[in-house]
Chain A
Amino acid sequence: MLITRRAEFSASHICSQSSLTAEQNRELYGAAANKNGHGHNYVLEVTLEGDPDPVTGMIFDLKTLKEVIQKNVIEPMDHRFLNYEVPPFDKIVPTAENLAAEIWKRLEPPLKGERARLKNVRLYETEDLYVDYGEATSGANR
């Protein structure tokens, strides 16, 4: 069975790779390469998979899930400039792909329960662009 919890955070970023020229960055990232940055209202959906505990009827305590997301993702990232304030984005480009992978990395250890584990992280950068990272898309590249 799957359960999904949704959370939101707002943050700014610049999509620009320092090893590339300004022109190359424009071609790769378009307006997102603007040197002063811009922001999004990110929406995060965290999906766990597991079997319900026969006594509690739950896969994982949703209050705990909410707290884990809050502590590991929302608090460090909400109302922050990702490139300047949230490592490793001082070194890698905070694309939606890299951000989803980083969120997975932060959430997987604390969400290893007896009956549940992290299945998928979906990150909406905007309503029209989202990234899935996790088991659903196979672990070959993790």
Chain B
Amino acid sequence: MTRVTRRYKFAASHRLNSGQLSEQQNGELYGKCNNPYGHGHDYVLEVSVTGPLNAVSGQVVNILALDRLVEERILRDFDHRYFNADVAEFLGDLVPTSENILRVIENRLSTHWRGAFPGDGPRLEGIRLQETKRNRFELRTN
């Protein structure tokens, strides 16, 4: 089998602060990331897809369809936004750590996957999110 990985970028800000912790606890836990006004990153998102190679197209996945899905469901909502104030999933108690952002991305892609790839199409294998060059988070979805 073949795995295709596509890389996307978005710039966004966030503030790590849990409503279930005290101000002091938040400060100790999240350090600079608890700054009241937030801060931002150039996130790099990698989406990996596996599946049978289509003998006619020579493709595992239609890249244009994958780009459309990620653009419509992720980038349009995340790029140049403040997670805590602009992205629905983070308006409540969910803290926009990279772990939680990955889960939200996975959930959004899975929900709309069959719409973008009907039938027995390619499968989402994993997603990786790089917050900075020194931090990378990975979620395998199979």
Contact = CB atoms under 8 A, between A and B. Distances in A.
Interface in A86-142: 92-98, 100-101, 127-133, 136-142
A132 B57 contact: no
B64 A96 contact: no
B3 interface: yes
A20 interface: yes
Contact of A17 (B6, B8, B56, B63): B56
A19 interface: yes
Given A132-B3, A141-B2, A27 B53 contact: no
Contacts of A141: 1-2, 52-53
A6 B142 CA distance: 29
User: In the complex, which range does the number of interface residues on chain B fall in?
Assistant: 10 to 19
Contact of B64 (A30, A100, A133): A30
B57 A17 contact: yes
B34 interface: no
A92 B4 contact: no
Interface in B27-50: 50
Given A97-B60, A137-B50, A131 B3 contact: yes
A28 interface: yes
A64 B8 CA distance: 36
B62 interface: yes
A42 B64 CA distance: 20
Contacts of B5: 129-132
A97 B56 contact: no
A131 B4 CA distance: 4
A93 B50 contact: no
Interface in B66-104: none
B115 to A, nearest CB: 17
A93 to B, nearest CB: 4
A30 B65 CA distance: 10
Contacts of A95: 57-59
Contact of A128 (B2, B6, B53): B6
21 contacts: A17-B57, A30-B63, A30-B64, A92-B58, A93-B57, A93-B58, A95-B57, A95-B59, A97-B2, A97-B58, A98-B53, A127-B7, A129-B4, A129-B5, A130-B5, A131-B2, A131-B3, A133-B2, A137-B2, A138-B1, A141-B53
User: Which A-B residue pairs are the 8 nearest by beta carbons?
Assistant: A93-B58, A95-B58, A128-B7, A98-B58, A132-B3, A137-B1, A141-B1, A137-B3
